[in-house]
Amino acid sequence: MNYTPASIEAKWQKTWSATKAYEPSDDFSKPKKYVLSMFPYPSGRIHMGHVRNYTIGDTFARYYRQQGFNVLHPIGWDSFGMPAENAAIKHGVHPKKWTYENIATMRGELAGLGLSFSEEREFATSNPEYTAFEQGFIIDMFNKGLLYRKQGFLNWCPHDLTVLANEQVVDGGCWRCGTPIVQKEMYQYYLKISDYSEELLESLKTLEGKWPKQVLTMQENWIGKSYGLEFPFKLDSESESKLGAVYQSFDVFTTRPDTIYGVSYAALAPEHEIVRHMLSFGLLDDATADAIKAMQRVSARDRATSPKEGVSLGINVLHPLTGAKVPVWVANFVLTDYGSGAVMAVPAHDDRDYEFATKYNLPIKAVIFPTEGELPSGCAYTEIGTLRESGEFSGLDNVTAKASIMDYFEANKLGKKAINFRLKDWGISRQRYWGAPIPLIHCDSCGIVPEDKAKLPVALPEDVVINGEGNPLEHHPTWKHCMCPKCGKPATRETDTMDTFIQSSWYFLRYTVKNDFKEAFDKEALNYWMNVDHYIGGIEHAILHLLYARFFTKMLRDLGYVNSDEPFEHLLTQGMVLKDGAKMSKSKGNTVDPGALVEKYGADTARLFILFAAPPTQELEWNDSAVEGAFRFLKRFADRSQYVNVTDSLPNIDHSSLSKEEKAARKKVYEALKRAQEVYGERHTFNTMIAGVMEAMNALNEQNNTDVWTEGYWILTSIMEPIIPHLCWELSTNLFNGKNFGVQTVREEVFEVEALSLGVSINGKNRATIEVGVNESQEAIIEIAKASVEKWIEGKEIVKSIVIPGKLVNLVIKG
RNA sequence: GCCAGUGUGGUGAAAUGGUAGACACGCCGGAUUCAAAAUCCGGUGGCGAAAGUCGUGGCGGUUCGAGUCCGCCCACUGGUACCA
């Protein structure tokens, strides 16, 4: 057969679509598999990362279909987001037009790869129906107290009058105009992910072995659970009156209560309540106040890289155990949103406190000493050791002391054991146009009121001015004006839109129904299809998207929508596609256009290369001539089908009557099948499976028995179909009337051999190879092995002989 | 700094404690061709004429046997970053 990918691929893609070959069945009595590759952002054109992502997913989907599963393999578009708005600012094109045109282009490009997606379930998250369902959930969350509004500090560009994401702050300035950004305190909506910290951490355990260890660890660290002691630092009477008797104390959290006798100062975040109080009541001299205000203006991100600095507040607290006066400072390294925004500082045993104390000449008092050797000088000692000068706890090792001191605090009501999470509530407000509006209304009489659910979606106005200055929804002449759903008086809509991570946090649930389904979910369908059996995507989503999607699933469960605890059963994180050792990117000019590749060689070549070049979780180095090699294999595969008989069934072959080459060919074919079963089922190293098929092809080519060729193609076109579907459908239809797609059975007879080839090694070093009969006794094998390595063992004593059946003989010699 | 991952031929990579380098790419040689492309056949870890010998980042260990398991170290890549 002459291999003409362009015509074969166009033909099959048309047929698959026309026959709805890849629409899942509504028969929920069948076993199912839900295979999902992370959906794309419609940026314009597909890139090689997409090709890899969707090829891997498609391979799973097609494999499971052959195994008789009802397969859900959907695609959609993560279509809200900043790039659409940036395009509007730059080129004056409406975000909606830009987005949907990109979707049309990319849909065509993906179709050209022969991906077996359900067409009836495709949607874009910017579709109004999707927004309506989502706003419904958000209202439920608001009513349940899972969504709340509070003031928070944000990056603000005073020139463009807009909030900027951290990624949009370049060298401390606005990415568009370069104006230095400031920290502005604004009202923001937050989702209470912190309510779920414990569960999000706990249920990571149920994913062990099914998600990459690396991802589990990253999420664990991100959630960041730590155990410690929380206690109040009481102000001394002088300080208390200085503050106008408004405050008696402030709380601090420490994971090192064992170092408490080494406390030499306390430090507050620049945003701490007490600091603000002192600022607003003029309790600080100008220089101190200015220094604090300067610290407040620095973004959290920049603070992380700035040198430590601070100022003394001129007030003192009392050490909870010794009663000594401890000075209170403001320090730029104390985070306002972790713990209570205040810390006890132990310079002798904490690197940060040490650096700060050294800079400002604060006392450094060591209370933990190494069990052996000297206390190091010039740095903090943070290792384990023995307590000294620590009152009744002196002499204890610090691990024991930690527990004892916490117990002491609790017994004497000085403080309590506490757990802190690093995970913070999720700020979802964006002062942007191209997103889903937050469906809340501000009423002077009723406060914040959710929109009437029957009126959803709160849709975006189309007539907007997008020039990058401020929030287009805020500036729209009429959009925000509405009536209060509760009291009917004039009110104002919330003009913030939601973070686009909200849309990607539940899209996989919506795929369980067809697009025309009028509610968000159909319980029966949802319970049947969930969970996603195989979720495939880039490692870059290891934290945010995967954490948010897990959180949303749990929230929707608690709101009664979903039964799952965890949405994704197995996770496969694909490696990046590199060229010349670097990630493909437009700015580096090292991209390869998938469209051009498909046009030159066809989709099957692209798919084959991308799965053959490396295992899916590893980085993949692009190689033009290896692509050429994949194409050559396909040509051979098509060409050698000429040796195959047209048939509807597997030929019967009398194995014992075959020649050595014929037997070898059958063996290779069935080895490839075994490998395929293993690879599709568990290992997912498609490269080794393809290598097995290539070996089988090489072996088939060493013989000319038509039945052996026919059997070989019957099996190989079946196991290769998930990878190179177009050519396999063509061959299978022409040769086997399509009858060979399905479960293949391994014929053990082909693995029976008369003679075995064993390696002979001496002290573990390979020296010779011998042929022995299958039924040869151990003793006989050892004798044959000895004979084969005579010159190595001459005059030596054989201490031990080990026979590993079918593999090797190891002789241990001495002398 | 912390966490994770990766180190094997000229290159991408195989090897599920048991004959290291399967399968490809590249290169070399040959056939075919007026010639080239395509195709087909053969060779290809280093050193050595050969017998051999050395080889999986380094050093140690466990084992009859280690690329694989354990310990320490080095290099590179990615993530995260003052989390008290």
Q: Residue A355: which nucleotide is closest by CA–C1'?
A: B82
Q: How confident is the model at residue A471 (pLDDT cuts 50, 70, 90)?
A: confident
Interatomic CA–C1' length for residue A402 and nucleotide B75, angstroms: 39
Q: DSSP states of A685-735 as a string?
A: -HHHHHHHHHHHHHHHTT---HHHHHHHHHHHHHHHTTTSHHHHHHHHHHH
Instruction: Determine what percent of chain A is predicted with pLDDT higher than 70.
Output: 99
Task: Indicate if CB(A397) is under 7 A from strand B.
Answer: no
Prediction ipTM score: 0.94
Query: A815: pLDDT confidence band, cut at 50, 70 and 90?
Result: low
pLDDT greater at residue A698 or residue A788: A698
Instruction: Answer whether residue A137 shows pLDDT above 90.
Output: yes
Average pLDDT over residues A48-58: 94
Tokens of A336: 């306002």
Rounded CA–C1' distance between A808 and B62, in angstroms = 22
Q: Residues A231-243: what's their mean pLDDT? A: 95
What is the average per-residue pLDDT within A395-404? 92
pLDDT of A757 above 90: no
| pLDDT on residue A474 | 92
Q: What is the mean pLDDT of residues A756-774?
A: 82
Q: What is the pLDDT of residue A171?
A: 67
Residue A168 has pLDDT above 80, yes or no: no
pLDDT grade for A38, boundaries at 50, 70 and 90? very high
Domains located in chain A, CATH noted = 30-125+501-595 (3.40.50.620), 137-192+426-498 (2.170.220), 225-421 (3.90.740.10), 644-751 (1.10.730.10), 753-814 (3.10.20.590)
Which nucleotide is closest to A225, CA to C1'? B83
Task: Give the nearest nucleotide to A345, CA to C1'.
Answer: B84
Nucleic strand B within 7 A of Cβ A678: yes
pLDDT tens per residue across span A75-86: 999 999 988 998
What distance in Å separates the CA atoms of residue A309 and residue A331, rounded to the nearest whole number? 6
pLDDT tens track for A254-307: 999 999 999 999 999 999 999 999 999 999 999 999 999 999 888 777 788 888
Distance between the alpha carbon (CA) of A128 and the C1' atom of B2, Å: 44
How many helices (DSSP H) and strands (DSSP E) are in chain A?
Answer: 26, 32
β-strand pairing of A440-443 with A490-493: antiparallel
CA A453 and chain centroid, separation:
33
Chain B bases under 7 Å from protein CB? 3-5, 11-16, 18-20, 22-26, 38-41, 64-66, 78-84
pLDDT tier for residue A584 given thresholds of 50, 70 and 90: confident
Instruction: pLDDT band for A610, please (50, 70, 90 cuts).
Output: very high
- How many other C-beta atoms can be found within 10 angstroms of the C-beta atom of residue A737? 12
Query: Tokens for A780?
Result: 């006989």
- C1' nearest to CA of A540: which nucleotide? B79
What gap in Å lies between CA A731 and CA A116, rounded to an integer? 18
Contact partners, residue A278, CB within 8 Å, separation at least 6: A243, A284, A313
| Nearest Cα residue to A44 out of A13, A5, A89, A79 | A79
**Of A577, A583, A570, A674, which is closest to residue A616 (Cα–Cα)?**
A577
Residue A580 has pLDDT above 70, yes or no: yes
Q: What is the pLDDT of residue A167?
A: 65
Listed ranges A157-161, A169-173, A277-281, A590-594; the one with the highest mean pLDDT: A277-281
pLDDT category at A771 given cuts 50, 70, 90 is confident
- Output the pLDDT for position A370: 86
Closest amino acid to nucleotide B11 (CA–C1')? A623
Burial classification of residue A554, based on how many CB atoms lie within 10 Å of its CB (0-12 exposed, 13-18 middle, 19 or more buried)? buried
Q: Each residue of A676-688: pLDDT tens digit?
A: 999 999 899 999 9
Question: pLDDT, tens digit, for every residue of A406-457?
Answer: 999 999 999 999 999 988 888 888 888 999 999 999 999 999 999 999 999 9
Task: Output the pLDDT for position A209.
Answer: 84
Q: Indicate if the pLDDT at residue A589 is higher than 70.
A: yes
